Structure 1
Amino acid sequence: MSPNEHANPVAKTTMSVLIVDDEPGMRSFLMKALAKKFALVETASSIAQAEELRSHGHFDLLIVDIRLPDRSGIEWHEALNDPEHQSDIIFMTGYADMDVAIKALRAGACDFIMKPFHLEQMITAVDRCIEKRLLKRENFMLKRELSHGQSSTIIGNSEAIRDVKEVIERIAPTNAVVLIEGESGTGKELVARQLHLLSGRSGAFVPVNCGAIAPDLLASELFGHTAGAFTGAKGNREGLFSYASGGTIFLDEIGEMPMNMQTALLRVLEQRAIRPVGSEKEVDINVRVIAATNRLLIDEVEAGRFRRDLFYRLNVLNIVIPSLRSRPDDVAELTHYFTLQLSQELGIKDVIWSHEDLQVLQQHDWPGNIRELRNMIERCILLGKPPAEYWKKPASVMVNDAMGYPLNWPLKEVEKQHVTKVVDNHNGNKSAAARDLGVSRKTLDRKFKDWLNHAEEGHEDT
């Protein structure tokens, strides 16, 4: 199978290329050949002109003649100060010099082509470079997803969750914008992932928490930036919309987005193009947008905190995720799922809860929804306490939390209970809990490991 057949045409059209050659005929020839394959194709007759174009926009691929009037193409490529997001490069030359070819490949070139060449040679080299770049993007997103430990499984068989699954199957194949609403912890990202999986889109699923990114950095994260666009922008950088090329971008907590970014997002949705920070040119995109919020956006609109036109643009298709307390029949299935998952992650024997444990869990109100349930299961496994026992407070040791811990508790138990409560208060975020506790994350992990080992020893003794 040829590289042409392997390449992803949907994703390629969202990329940009810069052709640098002092021959007008060669620039025109390549411009016409590549214009149909890329969202943006620019040409330059010199290194100085190429530098000017790169200062105003990012290019995924550079096609550069080695011998140019003002500077060697290889020397220029070696001097590019953009190590993390450097453009891929194909060198061209009309001089058969093996030493130059070796030097070009050592400089990191994707390919080296001798002039004159057939168009098919160049197209093959271009497709090979694009495949390599797409693989880099996929690896980046895979690492990002693994670091977040996300799943795409929607658990539950209650009528409420069956209705949600039915809506997902019906609207997933469309390219329409979707707005997902629901309380914190209900699984809005899982729904977005399922929409992407069933959509048939070939690109990546890119989740973005709009509330977790500093407002002044959000535009750069989403759209990318050029070198010198702001203090600290040493090189060109692709944004997350580019990483989602041909796929789906999930804008979680959209209600947290600053008003100026709401305006920028509205333009993206209407124009289907992004403009990197510091760039004067727009780049076409092929990305499906899914947004989510734990607020009632219409209330935010009435309060003047969210643009009305953006709300209507996002609310094309709407999915409302039910709270966990409204579907108690799903608690048992979710408990079994999380118990198996966490037991494997923690490397301990499978844990089996009693009927009493499941009853206690089903009767709880779960203000934190599924996220709170998962954290509760993890805490019970680590502490070696079944849910029914964890919540049970014997009369002999009943004490108001405001008054402290029972006087007959040993210091280690007080420490363990306090630490787990702080971690729970941060919804399982151990790094944030460690900061509150005044210890390092490594120290916190060691304590949990010690408690887990102690719990396992207790199980073996019984």
Structure 2
Amino acid sequence: MTNTVLFVDDDDDLRRASAQTLSLAGYDVRAVDSGAAAVREVDAGFDGIIISDIRMPGVDGLELLQQVIARDPDMPVILISGHIDVPTAMGALRTGAYDVLEKPYSNEQLVAAVERALERRRLIAENRQLRQAAPVDDAGPLVGHSPAIVQLRRTIAQIGPIGVDVLIQGETGTGKGLVAEMLHAASRRRGPLVTIDCGAMPAGLVEAELFGNVADAVPGSRMPRTGRLEQGNRGTIFLDDIDALSDSMQLAVQRVLERREVMPVGAIAGRSIDLRVVSASSLDLETLAKAGQFRLSLFYRLNSVTLRLPPLRERREDIAPLFRRFVLQAAARLGVTPPKLEARAFRHLEKHDWPGNVRELMRFAENFVLGLGDHDLGASASAGPTDLKSRLDAFETELIEEALGEAAGDVTRACAALGLPRKTFYYRLQKLGIDPASFRG
């Protein structure tokens, strides 16, 4: 999971202070004093985000932005300036800047902007990993030969070009983001795919994040901002974890879907947008709606077509080829020789529940290649059909208890330390029989 921030500013004091702030917040910071130096830092393996001052001698922030997005259009670039005007800010956002910060900014504003940008980068990276996992003989990036996956690929091919809104339902790690990318790629839409993690938006800024704002409409920022929904104009919006939206935001999103119009914060008139909406949830939205925990009217608006992604435990015939491909990919990426894979090792893989699904399998494959944890699958096979699962559970229990101990039982801090969504974390606590309250005090 990427945690790297490249900070670019020719002001020595500001550069050192901002780098220190981000380092204390837990980020891996690289600080350089020029756009030219930043260009040299951003090689093919750079997986972080960039924060750059606009006004610098030589390669300025706008030129740096153009060079970066020419190499990687998905790399988030945050521009900062103390003298920026509205046309320049809007031009930068249209060019591809992720955000614009006005000097002087607070430490909290800087950290919040970085976390949003890194979350977007992480989602893109995960989608790319899943997409790259496809073997060449598969009909697309969705790997597997189980009947459910074969039918899912066919359905995506059928509805992709139509442009109908789609609801994707599936457990964490089943590849909902990948399916959204496939739907967008199969469409005839020329705009971008904009992913919005509804559960990761900072509290109090959700409305401005989604719909944008006019100048001086949001405390702490004088600049106008284009909302994430409007950024997807003529393209596809992917609303991930849509169940995380508050009731008021659900109603606001429903109005956007009905009218295809957004109203920025502080604006007096709406703006028409052309969107295809793909939404996703790891929970059963219909059950939530009937229980009064999700707007029933929004649910009916979202599910023109519903795609259900099966968990790995329901398509066990796909686990072995997926694991083999992830091992080969990890070995190639890390520049090592792939470990020997034996049939009995695969039998163990198929007996594990894989609650984290494809994402968990991918990370386990990487650990297998690195020789971390209980990786000797072939040797452990003779210990019995449950041995691998028991050892994995014990290893996971140790990691979770260590994180809870360091966080004094604070679930939010433990989730952040482990890089796990809260829902997945609570699922693992219940499955492993761990009580966070025992670590408090």
Question: TM-score band, normalised by the shorter chain?
Answer: 0.5 to 0.7
Alignment equivalent of 1:320, drawn from 300, 308, 324: 308
Is the counterpart of residue 387 in structure 1 residue 377 in structure 2?
yes
The residue number in structure 1 matching 2:154 is 166
| Distance in 2 separating the partners of 1:181 and 1:250 | 13
| Distance in 1 separating the partners of 2:419 and 2:284 | 33
Given that 2:211 and 2:226 are in contact with CA atoms closer than 8 Å, whether structure 1 keeps it comes out as yes
Amino acid at match of 2:191: G
Alignment equivalent of 2:276, drawn from 282, 288, 304: 288
Alignment equivalent of 2:89, drawn from 72, 86, 108: 86
Amino acid at match of 1:178: V
Distance 1:391 1:205, change over 3 A: farther
Greater relative CO (CA pairs within 8 A, separation 6+):
1
Distance 1:208 1:344, change over 3 A: farther
- SS of the aligned residue for 2:239 comes to strand
| Distance in 1 separating the partners of 2:243 and 2:419 | 29
Give the drift of 1:234: 2.8
Distance 1:418 1:299, change over 3 A: closer
Higher-Rg member (1/2): 1
| Distance in 1 separating the partners of 2:303 and 2:397 | 44
| Distance in 1 separating the partners of 2:148 and 2:120 | 28
Alignment equivalent of 1:136, drawn from 89, 92, 96: 96
The residue number in structure 2 matching 1:178 is 166
Alignment equivalent of 2:297, drawn from 280, 305, 309: 309
| Distance in 1 separating the partners of 2:209 and 2:155 | 31
Give the drift of 1:420: 9.3
Amino acid at match of 2:174: T
Give the drift of 1:353: 1.5
| Distance in 2 separating the partners of 1:258 and 1:417 | 33
| Distance in 1 separating the partners of 2:166 and 2:181 | 12
Distance 1:390 1:239, change over 3 A: farther
Given that 1:82 and 1:234 are in contact with CA atoms closer than 8 Å, whether structure 2 keeps it comes out as no
The residue number in structure 2 matching 1:70 is none
The residue number in structure 2 matching 1:343 is 331
Distance 1:388 1:211, change over 3 A: farther
The residue number in structure 2 matching 1:222 is 210
Aligned length: 297
- SS of the aligned residue for 1:216 comes to coil
Is the counterpart of residue 378 in structure 1 residue 338 in structure 2?
no
CA displacement, residues 96-131 of structure 1 (integer Å, 9 cap, x when unaligned): xxxxxxxxxxxxxxxxxxxxxxxxxxxxxxxxxxxx
- SS of the aligned residue for 1:156 comes to coil
Give the drift of 1:139: 12
Amino acid at match of 1:433: L
The residue number in structure 2 matching 1:38 is none
Given that 1:335 and 1:373 are in contact with CA atoms closer than 8 Å, whether structure 2 keeps it comes out as yes
- SS of the aligned residue for 2:208 comes to helix
Amino acid at match of 2:418: A
RMSD: 3.8
- SS of the aligned residue for 1:87 comes to helix
Give the drift of 1:421: 8.6
Q: How does 1:12-411 map to 2 (within 5 A)?
A: 80-81=84-85, 86-88=89-91, 135-136=95-96, 147-148=122-123, 149=125, 150-151=127-128, 152=131, 153-383=141-371, 385-389=375-379
Scaled by the length of structure 1, what TM-score is found? 0.57
Amino acid at match of 2:285: L
Give the drift of 1:197: 0.6
| Distance in 2 separating the partners of 1:257 and 1:139 | 22
Distance 1:388 1:219, change over 3 A: farther
| Distance in 1 separating the partners of 2:228 and 2:214 | 14
Given that 2:93 and 2:99 are in contact with CA atoms closer than 8 Å, whether structure 1 keeps it comes out as no
Given that 2:189 and 2:235 are in contact with CA atoms closer than 8 Å, whether structure 1 keeps it comes out as yes
| Distance in 2 separating the partners of 1:230 and 1:247 | 27
- SS of the aligned residue for 2:204 comes to helix
Give the drift of 1:80: 4.7
Query: Between the two proteins, what is the percent identity of the paired residues?
Result: 33
Give the drift of 1:232: 1.9
Scaled by the length of structure 2, what TM-score is found? 0.59
| Distance in 2 separating the partners of 1:133 and 1:232 | 19
The residue number in structure 1 matching 2:418 is 433
Give the drift of 1:253: 0.8
| Distance in 2 separating the partners of 1:142 and 1:217 | 15
Give the drift of 1:432: 2.1
Given that 2:198 and 2:241 are in contact with CA atoms closer than 8 Å, whether structure 1 keeps it comes out as yes
Give the drift of 1:177: 1.0
| Distance in 1 separating the partners of 2:370 and 2:402 | 15
- SS of the aligned residue for 2:313 comes to helix
| Distance in 2 separating the partners of 1:244 and 1:142 | 16
Distance 1:244 1:422, change over 3 A: farther
Given that 2:156 and 2:182 are in contact with CA atoms closer than 8 Å, whether structure 1 keeps it comes out as yes
Given that 2:161 and 2:187 are in contact with CA atoms closer than 8 Å, whether structure 1 keeps it comes out as yes
| Distance in 2 separating the partners of 1:317 and 1:199 | 15
The residue number in structure 2 matching 1:100 is none
| Distance in 2 separating the partners of 1:434 and 1:251 | 20
The residue number in structure 1 matching 2:45 is none
Given that 1:137 and 1:243 are in contact with CA atoms closer than 8 Å, whether structure 2 keeps it comes out as no
CA displacement, residues 132-155 of structure 1 (integer Å, 9 cap, x when unaligned): 975526999999865431223211
- SS of the aligned residue for 2:293 comes to coil
Distance 1:282 1:251, change over 3 A: same
| Distance in 2 separating the partners of 1:393 and 1:421 | 26
Give the drift of 1:369: 1.3
Given that 1:245 and 1:287 are in contact with CA atoms closer than 8 Å, whether structure 2 keeps it comes out as yes
Residues 272-281 or 384-393, more deviating: 384-393
Give the drift of 1:430: 10
| Distance in 1 separating the partners of 2:201 and 2:120 | 17
- SS of the aligned residue for 1:333 comes to helix
Given that 1:186 and 1:322 are in contact with CA atoms closer than 8 Å, whether structure 2 keeps it comes out as yes
